[in-house]
């Protein structure tokens, strides 16, 4: 009887710890890591990501005012093109405060 009670208490404690870890993992995936926000300005911004297959995608990023098209695959990443800014996009970014 004493062994069964101790086993149930241990199993319940383990289930609680696993549930807390899963909950924390879900929150971090959903909202990001809270301690990394607000530490200076970000010079890298992901503008868009398009999946071509479940393992291949195209990512459009802005790095210090320059737009880059990057191909992502299981073999790595490759710069596909450096794109000029569109005038209307530059005006939108200035309005948001991303470009001086």
Q: Is the same domain home to 28 and 45?
A: no
Where b means 16+ CB within 10 Å and e means fewer, 61-91 reads: ebeeeebbbbbbeeeeeeeeeeeeeeeeeee
Q: Is this model's pTM higher than 0.75 or not?
A: no
The reported pLDDT for the residue numbered 31 is 76
Verify that 58 and 14 share a domain, yes or no: no
- Residues 3, 46: one domain? no
User: Over the stretch 4-30, which tens digit does the pLDDT of each residue have?
Assistant: 889 999 999 999 999 999 999 888 887
Domain count, the chain: 2
Residue 3: pLDDT over 50: yes
Model confidence at 100, pLDDT cuts 50, 70, 90, reads very low
What are the pLDDT digits (tens) for 25-70?
A: 888 887 776 665 555 567 888 999 999 999 999 999 998 888 999 9
Alpha-carbon distance 69 to 58, whole Å? 7
Q: Which residue range forms the structural domain that includes residue 16?
A: 1-38
């Amino acid at each position: 009887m004493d062994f069964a009670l101790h086993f149930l208490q241990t199993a319940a404690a383990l289930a609680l710890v696993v549930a807390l870890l899963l909950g924390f993992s879900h929150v971090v995936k959903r909202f990001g890591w809270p301690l990394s926000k607000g530490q200076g300005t970000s010079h890298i911004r992901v503008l868009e990501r398009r999946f071509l297959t479940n393992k291949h995608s195209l990512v459009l990023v802005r790095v210090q005012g320059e737009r880059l098209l990057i191909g992502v695959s299981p073999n790595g990443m490759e710069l596909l093109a450096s794109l000029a800014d569109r005038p209307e996009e530059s005006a939108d970014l200035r309005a948001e405060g991303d470009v001086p």
